[in-house]
Structure 1
Amino acid sequence: MADYQRSFPSERGRKSRPAHDNRRYLNGMLHVLRVGCPLRDMHERYGKGNSVYVRFHRWAEQGVWDALLETLVELGLADDRQHMIDSTTVRGHSQAAGAKGDL
């Protein structure tokens, strides 16, 4: 078994359909992060955008991303004190942009 598969929970197919490989969905998630495209514009080789989102959300609820980050820190491949914040996810106060306030 590949090392990356140990970190991700096995998936069962739903409604008599076989589950797709975790690698396909992980590559889709990384593609969206790297390119910055919406899930609906993601290349079809990664699967449907909704399926990628559902798997991402399920992994977040199961603590997979936290365990993955902890593993990377233990291996020395990531610094647990370093955090990145994208300005698209953080709202600035209106006055920080130079708006006139009620003074």
Structure 2
Amino acid sequence: MERFVLTDAQWAKMEPHCLGKATDPGRSGGDNRRFIEAVLWIVRTGSPWRDLPAFFGQWNSVFKRYRNWVKADVFVRLFEACSEAPDMEYAMVDATIVKVHRHGQGAKDPMRRRAAELR
């Protein structure tokens, strides 16, 4: 299962903001990219942590690391790093979800018409 979701360019933006680099003192995480891929797998599939494939490591260890990163606001930094220059590849507007209020379409306001009739 060596297929990754993140491209090398995306990972290059994210890597400096991750915890547990080789230069950090103490025990660091094994593979930050694989950890990020594990979190993305959980998000994409909507599966519980216990269903995480063994390729990503023990689910409990991955979950504990995820909680530590959430508390340290690492995911906020990763989001900010990746959203500096968005490529807008997936941005689209679909008319089936964009609705205009009837007044914006030029429809008559029934309350205004009724008020005019009462005068």
| Aligned pair partner of 2:18 in 8, 29, 41 | 8
> Structure 2 CA distance, aligned partners of 1:77 and 1:57?
29
Structure having greater relative contact order (Cα 8 Å, sep ≥ 6): 2
Q: Which residue of 1 aligns with 2:69?
A: 59
| Aligned residue pairs, count | 73
| Aligned pair partner of 1:50 in 49, 52, 60 | 60
TM-aligned CA deviation for residue 36 of structure 1: 1.3
Q: Deviations over 1:26-85 (max 9, x none)?
A: 11111111111111111100011111111111111111111112122222257xxxxxxx
TM-aligned CA deviation for residue 7 of structure 1: 1.5
Sequence identity (%): 27
| Aligned pair partner of 1:25 in 27, 35, 39 | 35
Runs of 4+ in 1 over 6 A off after TM superposition: none
| Aligned pair partner of 1:76 in 69, 82, 86 | 86
| Aligned pair partner of 2:50 in 40, 43, 64 | 40
- Structure having the higher Rg: 2
> Structure 2 CA distance, aligned partners of 1:28 and 1:9?
15
Return 5+ residue gaps in structure 2 as ranges. Answer: 1-10, 89-119
> Structure 2 CA distance, aligned partners of 1:50 and 1:28?
12
8 Å contact kept, 1:24–1:46: yes
Q: 1:19 to 1:63 in 2, by over 3 A?
A: closer
What amino acid maps onto 1:29 in structure 2? V
8 Å contact kept, 1:24–1:47: no
> Structure 2 CA distance, aligned partners of 1:35 and 1:63?
23
